[in-house]
Each structure stands twice: as structure tokens, then as C-alpha cells.
Amino acid sequence: MTLTTVLCPLDFSAASAGLVTYAAALAVAAGAELRLLHVQETPPALAGSVAEQLAAHRAVAAQAGARVSTVVLPGAAAAAIVAEARRYPADLIVIGAHGQTGLTRFLMGSTAEAVVRTAPCATLLVKPSPVDAYRQSA
């Protein structure tokens, strides 16, 4: 499989920085373009904050040598991620696996689980590093 496009959805949790670094390294190694995606599930009360956080993640990916683009979409996270993967089109989705509630959510995260089930392309789940997991629980 040749990778030309990698989609990396971000929720701006503590694990997002590690996820961007991982996705950028993968994109650079494959010579692929990296698209960072944030889905705004609620009305954009803090739109400036979203733009700032996305710009910071974009800078990290660019510093790693990735060709990177960004997009913010409204809607339900899983559906918007899958729709963007089709529209972009993505060869690979690199998504964080977060523990939420319930066994499936504990193992993969509810959004990640839905994306894996419905994505039109390969999906790579990336567990948070122990440091990121600690930051999320604190």
C-alpha cells in the first residue's frame, strides 16, 4: 500500500501532541501529506482557542518535516472524520485510542471505535504514551 495522504483527527487532549508527532513521522517516512482535523461538536464558543491549538499542532508537524494542512469541521466526531477521510481522500487515518466508559470505550474510545468500524481506509490506533495518560488523568 502506498501512502500519499494521512488524516489525523485531534481532540486537543494531552495525548494529541504525541499523536501529531507520531503521524508526522509516519507521513514524512512515506512521503505523504498529513491533514490535521479537529471536529467542533458544540457551537464554536472558543473558535480562537481551536485555531491556536490547531496552529500549534501544525507547527509541530511542519517542524518534523511533514507537508501539513488543517481543517476544522462541525458535527459529530466519528461521522465527520469518516466523511473527511472519503472527501480528502485519506489512505490512512491515525487516531488516538482513549479510554472512556464501557469495555469497548475502555479499549479504544468511542469515537475511535466508530471510525475503525466505518472508515473507508486503513485506520491506525495510537495509544497515549504513559506521560500523556498521566496528564489526562491529572
Contact 11, 36 (CB under 8 A): no
Domain 13-34+48-137 fold is Rossmann fold (3.40.50)
d(CA 36, CA 88): 11
Percent of the chain with pLDDT over 70: 80
Number of Cβ within 10 Å of residue 127's Cβ equals: 15
Q: Where are the domains of the chain?
A: 13-34+48-137
Residue 130: what pLDDT?
59
Q: Is 14 exposed, middle or buried (0-12, 13-18, 19+ CB in 10 A)?
A: middle
CA nearest neighbour of 128 among 52, 20, 27: 20
Digit-coded pLDDT (tens) for 52-79 = 999 999 999 999 999 999 999 999 999 9
pLDDT at 101: 47
Tens of pLDDT, residue by residue, the chain (138 residues) = 789 999 999 998 888 989 999 999 999 999 999 999 999 877 666 556 888 999 999 999 999 999 999 999 999 999 999 999 999 999 999 999 874 444 444 444 589 989 999 999 999 999 887 554 444 444
